Amino acid sequence: MFDLSYYLIVSFSVLLFAISKSGFSGGGLALISVTLLSITYGPLTAIAILMPMLLICDAIAGYLNRKHYEHKVIWSLAPYSLLGVIAGMFLFKFINLSMISIFIGSISLVYVVFNYLVTNSKIKNIPFYGSKFFWGTLSGFTSFCLHSGGLPMNIFFMSLYNKKVQFVAGLVFSMALINIFKIIPYFYLDIINLRSLMGYLLFSPVAIVGVIVGHWMNSKLSDKSFFMIINFFIVVASLRLVYLGFVDL
């Protein structure tokens, strides 16, 4: 039986997710998308739906930002992201996802607040400022478990760049590697399978449109406006994660 509400909800969620994957919104729209799908169809189904969309979005976003990324930064961060994914694979069935939500939301929120309160001369004294090990591992872990790895990865790249083109390219390529790392563990844990992947590819045109729209939106913003929006959505997404974590405890 044709279920119109299913196609509308998934299409809307994929569109928000794809716009976020372009580097726009600092992961805030992606979190809204994941939340909507998780509430409606369950967290494992949300992961299964979004996994093929992640790969498509990464491919399109990578092509659009291919001239601006620094490969040394990406590859030096990759081992820590892989470590986080491996930790997520082994701990996925045992950890309390609510506590992880509260932790990642709280630390992202505190970091952004401190980033605005401290002076430029003291900003590097913020705990874990620019730490590849901390933010890379945390991003891989939370991406595997919650599809919210963009929050810590955003914070890491904000410590490196104040130009949106470099920030977006670094974010896009780093998250693309994490998503590649996740494929085999997701199959191993039976979160996804070939049948589900092929079925959800129906929504790939929506994902492609979303990335292109997000890239266009980024191009219309100044660096200052871009980072103001990024920080705003990080705060919103962080508060949302903390709230959902406490609700589900």
Is it the case that residue 154 has pLDDT exceeding 60?
Answer: yes
Q: What is the pTM of this model?
A: 0.84
Contact call for residues 72 and 174 (beta carbons, < 8 A):
no
Mean of the per-residue pLDDT values of the chain: 84
Domain segments of the chain: what residues?
Answer: 4-248
Task: Summarize pLDDT for 93-143 with one digit per residue, the tens.
Answer: 777 777 877 888 888 887 777 766 665 556 667 778 888 999 999 999 988
Q: Which of 153, 20, 17, 166 is nearest to 81 (CA)?
A: 153
Cβ neighbours, 10 Å, residue 34 = 24
Contact call for residues 168 and 114 (beta carbons, < 8 A):
no
Q: Residue 26: what pLDDT? A: 60
Q: Which of 50, 66, 42 is nearest to 15 (CA)?
A: 50
Question: What b/e readout covers 107-145, taking b as 16+ CB neighbours within 10 angstroms?
Answer: bbbebbeebeeeeeeeeeebeebeebebbbbbbbbbbbb
